[in-house]
């Protein structure tokens, strides 16, 4: 039984995501290797890539399973909960001592709670909106911020208090009911196309002119802020009940990415 799970192709990519999360922790902490925060952030982004691929592989090979669903969730806690917390502490929160450690823990535990809530409410459907910022996007936000700083603004001193506030804000967004648009069900109205085009153009210019990590950071920041900003303008502060039926077994891990 267990050997079959080891040989199941989608689980290979889920395992690769966990390896990236573990390697990110090793790089961020400098355990036996030279500390490299940029590569540590990059490993988290790679973990996100593998986390996305495993579902596609499960659908393509028709090998999705309940085991894969549980495995995906457990790996997400490591790759997008623990690894980003270690990274942000090593990057900016360490000077705050126990307060900084508490901030990193708050970010991690909120992401874990967000994932647990998602798993408890999973019923084989996918909503057009996710409830709160996903743990995957929260981890990507931390990773891209660290990479952008290390790649383009290494000489700029980022106040630890600002980073702490950002961690608290992201943690609250993850456990909140603020609706975030899902990529697969996003339908643009004609009046929205210009805004999206300008945003993509600005991101592309930033990537070419400065560093690709800056483009990732801007894209993640825009998405992170999009939930509360849209809720503020529409007055809808809870998840819209627009669901698209999807079989849970079509996903390697039914992940919330």
pLDDT tens for 40-64 read 999 999 999 999 887 777 777 777 7
CATH number of 2-183+193-250: 1.20.120.1760
Instruction: Tell me the domain boundaries of the chain.
Output: 2-183+193-250
Tens-binned pLDDT, residue by residue, of the chain (257 aa)? 677 777 777 888 999 999 999 999 999 999 888 899 999 999 999 999 999 887 777 777 777 778 888 889 999 999 999 999 999 999 999 999 999 999 999 999 999 999 999 888 876 556 667 889 999 999 999 999 999 998 878 888 999 999 999 999 999 999 998 988 776 555 656 656 666 667 667 766 666 666 778 888 988 998 999 889 988 888 877 764 444 444 343 334 455 64
- What's the whole-model pTM score? 0.83
The DSSP secondary structure of 145-157, one letter per residue, reads HHHHHHHH-TTS-
Tell whether the torsion through CA atoms of 37, 42, 48 and 53 is positive or negative: negative
Label residues 31-46 b or e (16+ Cβ within 10 Å = b): eeeeeebbbbbbbbbb
Question: CA–CA separation, 12 vs 140, rounded Å?
Answer: 21
Determine contact, residues 93/164, Cβ cutoff 8 Å. Answer: yes
């Amino acid at each position: 039984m267990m050997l079959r799970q080891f040989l199941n192709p989608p689980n290979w990519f889920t395992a690769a995501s966990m390896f990236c999360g573990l390697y990110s922790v090793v790089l961020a902490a400098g355990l036996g290797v030279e500390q490299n925060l940029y590569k540590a952030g990059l490993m988290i982004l790679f973990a996100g890539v593998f986390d996305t691929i495993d579902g596609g592989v499960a659908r393509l090979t028709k090998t999705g399973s309940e085991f894969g669903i549980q495995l995906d969730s457990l790996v997400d806690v490591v790759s997008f909960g623990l690894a980003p917390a270690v990274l942000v502490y090593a990057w900016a929160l360490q000077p705050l001592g126990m307060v900084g450690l508490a901030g990193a823990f708050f970010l991690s535990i909120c992401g874990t709670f967000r994932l647990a809530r998602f798993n408890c409410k999973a019923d084989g459907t996918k909503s057009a909106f996710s409830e709160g910022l996903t743990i995957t996007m929260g981890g990507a936000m931390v990773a891209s911020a660290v990479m952008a700083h290390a790649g383009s603004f290494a000489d700029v001193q980022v106040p630890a208090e600002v980073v702490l506030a950002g961690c608290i804000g992201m943690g609250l967004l993850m456990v909140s009911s603020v609706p975030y648009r899902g990529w697969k069900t996003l339908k643009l109205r004609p009046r929205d196309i210009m805004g999206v085009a300008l945003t993509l153009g600005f991101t592309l210019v930033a990537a070419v002119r400065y560093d690709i990590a800056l483009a990732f950071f801007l894209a993640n920041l825009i998405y992170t802020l999009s939930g509360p900003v849209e809720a503020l303008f529409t007055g809808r502060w809870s998840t819209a009940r627009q669901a698209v039926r999807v079989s849970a077994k079509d996903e390697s891990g039914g992940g919330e990415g």
